[in-house]
């Protein structure tokens, strides 16, 4: 039997075997049977020694071409078997997406973080830059530059945590304002969010650790009207267009004149309810025009520049925003409470 006939026989037998295969393991056995060291094609190659010198080159070309064709046949069948295995695996591993499953327990944004994001979004929309500063602060920045010298009686109302005579845990984020006024030239328009500390009792409306957002604007011809317009815009963005602000005279050492700001009651929208004690108003923050002494101590000419400042308790905003009655819920980490803000 000549070389061509033997190659045809090997191909025909291979085609039959490939057609009957059902898995890749069987295919590997067939590959070895034909192309391995003891395979039929390898044996045919070795038989060339019995051919004449003139016949060997032609036979070699035929065998090499046959090896290439056989390799392609086996590779094609391998690809077919792998595809069928994948289909079978996918069929067995199919997930029924309609089957009810328990939702994974994932974290949720804290309501205080949500409120902070809303307030900062509103303020940055009004052109404020967000600036932060250290929580452990020098007395010089926390009090003295804010018109609260060491013998000032208003210091007693701050309930301060002292590290030593000159280092405190900041009682407000106003030191960030002082640091900014010392490092920047007007115009200045900043929002200062952060954690603050006061030696206070823990109850439904008080905590020794809480958060503030303070705003500061320094520029020429700034007025109390600009302050009210800013706060009106802020609270309308937070609570709705029907919300109004009301200013009442007050006193703060670092602002003059100063005011307490009342807001249309979020619950009754000004009609009167238990939350606002029937008045239709709730107190939300303190504010005022920056005291000229503070401007001068921070290196700003009070004859050329004026400014306003305000400070908001973030927990207060959060409780109003989400109808939370007890501040302690914000710190307890109770998942039953937090999951409501998913």
pLDDT profile of the chain (342 residues), mean per 10: 76 82 83 81 76 78 81 85 84 76 80 93 95 95 91 73 91 95 95 92 87 96 95 93 94 94 90 88 94 96 96 92 89 87 78
**Nearest-angstrom CA–CA distance, 70 and 52:** 26
CA distance 79 to 85: 10
Rounded CA gap, 171 and 169, in Å?
A: 6
Listed residue (160, 308, 167, 315) closest to 226, CA to CA? 308
Prior bond to 146 cis, omega within 30? no
Q: What is the pLDDT of residue 158?
A: 60
86 SS3 class: helix
Contacts of 74 (CB under 8 A, 6+ apart): 14, 18, 27, 30, 31, 34, 35
Q: Which residue has the tokens 């328009």?
A: 189
Minimal CA–CA distance to 185: which of 287, 293, 311, 307? 307
3-state secondary structure of 280: coil
Q: What is the pLDDT of residue 19?
A: 84
Q: d(Cα 159, Cα 313) in Å, to the nearest integer?
A: 16
Q: Give the C-alpha separation, 101 to 111, whole Å.
A: 27
DSSP 3-state assignment of 52?
A: coil
The predicted model scores a pTM of 0.67
Q: Where are the alpha helices (DSSP H) in the chain?
A: 3-20, 24-35, 40-46, 55-92, 111-125, 139-142, 174-183, 224-239, 292-297, 314-322, 335-338
Instruction: Name the DSSP letter for residue 187.
Output: P
Query: What's the confidence (pLDDT) of residue 117?
Result: 94
> What pLDDT is recorded for position 66?
79
Q: Give the C-alpha separation, 292 to 209, whole Å.
A: 30
């Amino acid at each position: 039997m000549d070389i061509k006939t033997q190659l045809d026989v090997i191909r025909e037998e291979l085609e039959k075997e490939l057609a009957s295969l059902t898995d890749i393991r069987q295919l590997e056995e067939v590959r070895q049977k034909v192309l391995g060291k003891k395979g039929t094609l390898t044996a045919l190659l070795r038989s060339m020694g019995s051919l004449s010198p003139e016949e060997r080159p032609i036979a070699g070309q035929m065998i090499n071409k046959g090896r290439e064709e056989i390799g392609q046949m086996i590779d094609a069948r391998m690809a077919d078997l792998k595809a069928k295995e994948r289909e079978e695996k996918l069929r067995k591993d199919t997930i029924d997406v309609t089957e009810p499953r328990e939702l994974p327990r994932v974290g949720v944004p804290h309501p205080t973080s949500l409120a902070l994001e809303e307030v900062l979004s509103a303020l940055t929309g009004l052109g404020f830059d967000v600036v932060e500063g250290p929580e452990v602060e020098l007395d010089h920045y926390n009090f003295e530059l804010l018109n609260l010298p060491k013998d000032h009686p208003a210091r007693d109302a701050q309930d301060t945590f002292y590290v030593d005579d000159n280092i405190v845990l900041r009682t407000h984020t106003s030191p960030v304002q002082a640091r900014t006024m010392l490092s920047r030239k007007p115009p200045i328009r900043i929002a200062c969010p952060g954690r603050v500390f006061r030696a206070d009792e823990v109850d439904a409306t008080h905590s020794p650790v809480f958060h503030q957002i303070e705003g500061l604007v320094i520029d020429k011809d700034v007025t109390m009207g600009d302050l009210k317009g800013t706060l009106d815009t802020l609270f309308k963005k937070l609570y709705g267009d029907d919300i109004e602000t009301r200013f009442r005279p007050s006193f703060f050492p670092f602002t003059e004149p100063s005011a307490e700001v009342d807001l249309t009651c979020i619950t009754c929208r000004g009609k009167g309810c238990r939350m606002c004690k029937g008045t239709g108003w709730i107190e939300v923050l303190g504010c005022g025009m920056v005291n000229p002494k503070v401007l001068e101590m921070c290196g700003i000419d009070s004859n050329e520049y004026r400014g306003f400042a305000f400070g908001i308790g973030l927990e207060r905003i959060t409780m109003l925003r989400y109808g939370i009655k007890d501040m302690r819920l914000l710190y307890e980490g109770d998942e039953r409470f937090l999951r409501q803000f998913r």
